[in-house]
Amino acid sequence: MSSPESSPSIFDYGDGISAVDSVYERSLQTAVHIMVERGRAAIIDTGTAHSVPLTLAALAQRGIAPEQVDYVILTHVHLDHAGGAGALMARCPNARLTVHPRGARHVIDPGRLLEATVAIYGAETTRRVYGEVLPVARERVLETPEGAALSLAGRELSFFDTPGHARHHVVLRDGRTGHLFAGDTFGFSYRELDVAGRQSAFPTTSPSQFDPPALARSIERMLALAPGAMYLTHFGRVADLARLAADLRRLIDAHAALAERCRRAGSERFRLLTEGVTALVLEERMRQGWPVSEEKTLEIFALDIELNAQGLASWLDTEGK
Ligand SMILES: [Zn+2]
């Protein structure tokens, strides 16, 4: 394997926007997006602490020094998006970090976030996957509620509150292109599954704030902004958004119905949820004609199946009553 530090995979989308493959558990899974405007930069979602050298190398390739980063923008505080925030902020002395008001305290003091992750994965895996999750100094944190706006060297960035995947989730709109940075609200869309450039999307229902009606409303709202493209953290730019949104709505309903069917399954519940999500993934493979084997599909979705099943269980335990 070549040193990731020296050769990050970068996807250039024009308009100063690019995606860096942050190599989370596999490549082409998690992107760190970069926006450059007149020598100033914003980084949208950070990946983990392990992603920071890749992001800085990608910036350097664009002639951008860490001092030229004005904003580190978090769509939400799940650790695959925000785990590297503290480490990245330590390297970018002029940056301010933006986050949904509900997420601010978790980046200032990541203790609870880490605890929740350790509860799911265990201490050893958490440390291996996320590296050291550093706090961000309170005075460097800017809260971005619904309606907040920032200027990146004159380029307006505005924020929309988009609950459904998480209650601490915002979507960012780039005023120059009208494109949206969707975080996890528009699901994931893996490039290995494209069929001759035709993309597909699958919702993420991961713990612990999945809320199907809220997620469907947030997706409607994003579409109503009429973006020509969206940038998903998992993975990169997608277009043909009305078709993808219809697929997401259908799959969100299917996840909610699956959870309902498993509601009274007792000790069998998690196994049935996992089998059910697996079935939804494999049905989608057939429907979309994904050009990968069943085995490869399950490999690509391994973590997502586990997290979607956990999120459905947690929804049944709380909001879904
Ligand atoms: Zn998430």
- Answer yes or no: is pLDDT of 169 > 60: yes
Which residues make Cβ contacts (< 8 Å) with residue 15, sequence separation at least 6? Answer: 174, 176, 177, 179
Question: What is the whole-number distance in angstroms between the Cα of residue 38 and the centre of ligand 1?
Answer: 31
Question: What is the whole-number distance in angstroms between the Cα of residue 153 and the centre of ligand 1?
Answer: 29
Amino acid letter, residue 194? D
Question: What is the whole-number distance in angstroms between the Cα of residue 162 and the centre of ligand 1?
Answer: 12
Q: What is the pLDDT of residue 6?
A: 54
Question: What is the whole-number distance in angstroms between the Cα of residue 304 and the centre of ligand 1?
Answer: 11
> pLDDT (tens digit, 9 = 90+) per residue, 43-81?
999 999 999 999 999 999 999 999 999 999 999 999 999
Question: What is the whole-number distance in angstroms between the Cα of residue 88 and the centre of ligand 1?
Answer: 19
> pLDDT (tens digit, 9 = 90+) per residue, 90-124?
999 999 999 999 999 999 999 988 888 888 778 88
* Percent of the chain clearing pLDDT 70 (strictly above): 97
* pTM for this model (two decimals): 0.95
- Answer yes or no: is pLDDT of 186 > 50: yes
Question: What is the whole-number distance in angstroms between the Cα of residue 260 and the centre of ligand 1?
Answer: 22
Question: What is the whole-number distance in angstroms between the Cα of residue 181 and the centre of ligand 1?
Answer: 13
Question: What is the whole-number distance in angstroms between the Cα of residue 165 and the centre of ligand 1?
Answer: 7
Asked which of 24-33, 167-176, 234-243, 306-315 is least confident by mean pLDDT, the reply is 24-33
Question: What is the whole-number distance in angstroms between the Cα of residue 166 and the centre of ligand 1?
Answer: 7
- Answer yes or no: is pLDDT of 24 > 90: no
Question: What is the whole-number distance in angstroms between the Cα of residue 204 and the centre of ligand 1?
Answer: 7
Question: What is the whole-number distance in angstroms between the Cα of residue 294 and the centre of ligand 1?
Answer: 25
The mean pLDDT value of the chain amounts to 94
Question: What is the whole-number distance in angstroms between the Cα of residue 17 and the centre of ligand 1?
Answer: 21
Question: What is the whole-number distance in angstroms between the Cα of residue 63 and the centre of ligand 1?
Answer: 30
Q: What is the pLDDT of residue 8?
A: 80
Question: What is the whole-number distance in angstroms between the Cα of residue 307 and the centre of ligand 1?
Answer: 10
Single out the residue of 8, 28, 113 nearest to residue 296, CA to CA.
Answer: 28
Q: What is the pLDDT of residue 2?
A: 39
Question: What is the whole-number distance in angstroms between the Cα of residue 206 and the centre of ligand 1?
Answer: 7
